[in-house]
Structure 1
Amino acid sequence: MNHLAHALLAGDDDALRLGGMLGDFVRGAPDDAWPREVVMGIRLHRAIDVYTDAHPEVLAAKAQLAPPYRRYAGILLDMWFDHCLARDFPRWSAVPLARFSTDLRALLHDREPQLPPALQRFLAYMQAHDLPAAYARTQVLGRALAGIGQRLQRANPLADALPVLQAQASALDGHFEVFFPELQAFARSWIYQAGIDHAKARPD
Structure 2
Amino acid sequence: MNYLAHLHLSHDTPGLMIGALLGDVVKGPLKGEYPADWEQGIRLHRRIDAYTDNHALIRACQADFPKKFRRFSPIMLDVAFDHFLIKHWQQFHPQTLATFSTEMYQFLSNTHWPAAAQPHVKRIVKHDLLNRYQEWDFIIEVIASIGLRMRVTNPLADTDEILAQHYQQIERTFLQFYPQLQQHVNGMQ
Q: TM over 0.5, yes or no?
A: yes
> How is 1:53-202 mapped onto 2 (pairs within 5 angstroms)?
53-112=53-112, 114-117=113-116, 119-191=117-189
| Distance in structure 1 (CA, Å) of the matches to 2:176 and 2:48 | 16
Deviation per CA, 1:17-75, whole angstroms, max 9, x where unpaired?
A: 11111111111233525332221111111111111111110001111211211120110
What is the TM-score with the length of structure 2 in the denominator?
0.93
The one-letter code matched in structure 2 to 1:115 is P
Contact 1:87 1:137 in 2 (8 A): no
Secondary structure in 2 matching 1:132: helix
Structure-1-length-normalised TM-score: 0.86
Letter in 1 for 2:75: I
Aligned to 2:46: 46
Structure 2: distance between partners of 1:115 and 1:188:
28
Q: State the distance in 1 between where 2:22 and 2:102 align.
A: 17
- Checking the alignment, whether the CA contact within 8 Å between 1:23 and 1:42 is kept in structure 2 is yes
What amino acid sits opposite 2:182 in the alignment? Q
Aligned residues of 1:101 and 1:131 also touching (Cα < 8 A): no
- RMSD of aligned C-alpha atoms? 1.5
Opposite residue 85 of structure 2, the aligned amino acid is: L
- The CA distance in 1 between the partners of 2:172 and 2:91, in whole Å, is 15
Question: In structure 2, the residue corresponding to 1:136 is in which secondary structure?
Answer: coil
Query: Contact 1:52–1:58 at 8 Å: present in 2 too?
Result: yes
One-letter amino acid of the structure 2 residue matched with residue 110 of structure 1: N
Instruction: Provide, for residues 109-147 of structure 1, a one-character-per-residue CA deviation record: whole Å limited to 9, x for no partner.
Output: 2223x3242x21122222222112211111211111111
Map of 1:12-51 to 2, 5 A cutoff? 12-30=12-30, 32-51=32-51
Does structure 2 retain, via aligned residues, the 8 Å contact 1:60–1:175?
A: no
Amino-acid identity (%)? 34
What 5-or-longer segments of structure 1 have no aligned partner?
A: 192-204
Other-structure match for 1:5: 5
CA contact (8 A) 1:25 1:116 kept: no
SS in 1 for 2:72: helix
Following the alignment from structure 1 to structure 2, what is the Cα–Cα distance between the partners of residues 80 and 188? 23
What displacement does 1:12 show?
2.1
CA distance in 1, matches of 2:36, 2:70: 37
Q: Distance in 1 between matches of 2:16 and 2:123?
A: 22
**Match for 2:142: what amino acid?**
A
CA distance in 2: counterparts of 1:101 and 1:173, whole angstroms: 22
4+ residue runs over 4 A deviation: none
Higher mean displacement: 32-41 or 17-26: 32-41
